[in-house]
Amino acid sequence: MPLREHLLEIRKRLFLVSCGLVAGAILGWFLYQPLLDALQAPLEKAAAEQGKVINLNFSGMATALDMKIKVSLFLGVIVSCPWWLYQLWAFITPGLTSKERRYAMGFLGASVPLFLGGAFLAWWVLPHAVDILAGFVPEGATNLTDAQGYLSFVMRLVLAFGLAFVLPVVLVALNFAGLVRATALFAGWRWAVLIAFVFAAVMTPTPDALTMILVALPICLLYFGAVGIAFLRDRSTDKRNAAALAGA
């Protein structure tokens, strides 16, 4: 495909992604109050259990409006994830064969639930993180949490976990494309486990080891699942190549 057509295709996909995000953001605009209540729930729970004053703080006149726009866009990204993931694969698939396109659709079908599963895990971790961090507030003190800073923290947590859960699909895709073999993936399993636990330690700002383990374990399992699929793929490919050589 010529460069000009590539650029036109990129523009087309970006426009479609933007349309999906806008549609999701419009939905988020109308669901802002329930979502804000859900975001504040961990703070309110920690305040009630610990007998402390912990509230969101809107520090400027336009902060509340800015917060509503950001929350709407955040929900738009989550809700429209099947759409923008599809646009990503649709940009790649024109250069693939019909068989490879089927693989691409399979990768898309796996990416969406994994992304949402990672986002759900982050949402599960959030109340535990807030409860533990709120415990460091001194007795008699008031914790006025900056609303935008808190939202940024939640967004980074949810998106990071969602993308981390999609990474094994990328590894399988690289294997199916013939760019990396299962033996190479398995050879780095120690580094993969270490990175998973470091990621869990950084993204779960809680001092307890249990939460870190509960977060890192699914990532490790997904990695080894991807390696297992790659091994099956390599074995099938090797048998097919050996049969073709024997027939020749």
Instruction: Flag whether pLDDT at 197 surpasses 80.
Output: yes
Q: Which two tokens stand for residue 207?
A: 């001092």
Determine the average pLDDT of the residues in 109-114. 85
Least confident segment among 102-106, 118-122, 196-200, 215-219: 102-106
Instruction: Flag whether pLDDT at 169 surpasses 80.
Output: yes
Quick one: pLDDT band at residue 239, thresholds 50, 70, 90?
confident
**What pLDDT sits at residue 133?**
77
Determine the average pLDDT of the residues in 128-142. 79
Determine the average pLDDT of the residues in 146-151. 83
CB 146 within 8 A of CB 57: yes
194: CB partners within 8 A, 6+ apart: none
**What pLDDT sits at residue 224?**
92
CB 191 within 8 A of CB 144: no
Determine the average pLDDT of the residues in 98-118. 78
CB atoms within 10 A of CB 68: 16
175: CB partners within 8 A, 6+ apart: 181, 182, 185, 226, 229, 230, 233, 234
* pTM (2 d.p.): 0.74
- Integer Cα distance of 182 and 230 in angstroms: 5
Q: Which residue has the higher pLDDT, 179 or 95?
A: 179
Q: Which of 80-89, 184-193, 194-203 has the highest mean pLDDT?
A: 184-193
- Integer Cα distance of 162 and 184 in angstroms: 25
Reference 114, options 90, 85, 93; nearest CA is: 85
CB 67 within 8 A of CB 147: yes
Q: Interhelix angle for 81-92 vs 98-134, to 10°?
A: 140
Tokens 């869990």 identify what position?
200
Quick one: pLDDT band at residue 205, thresholds 50, 70, 90?
low
Instruction: Flag whether pLDDT at 190 surpasses 60.
Output: yes
Determine the average pLDDT of the residues in 54-75. 84
Mean confidence (pLDDT) of the chain: 81
How far does Cα 188 stand from its chain's mean position? 22
**What pLDDT sits at residue 140?**
75
Phi, psi dihedrals of residue 138, rounded to the nearest 5°: -60, 155
> For the residues of 47-69, what is the DSSP string, one character each?
HHHHT-EEEEE--STTHHHHHHH
Could you give the count of Cα atoms lying within 13 Å of 220 in the half-sphere of its Cβ?
17
Task: Name the residue ranges covered by the structural domains of the chain.
Answer: 3-247
Percent of the chain with pLDDT over 90: 3
**What pLDDT sits at residue 147?**
84
> For the residues of 146-206, what is the DSSP string, one character each?
EHHHHHHHHHHHHHHHHHHHHHHHHHHHHHHTTSS-HHHHHHTHHHHHHHHHHHHHHHS--
Instruction: Flag whether pLDDT at 214 surpasses 80.
Output: no
**What pLDDT sits at residue 109?**
82
Quick one: pLDDT band at residue 96, thresholds 50, 70, 90?
low
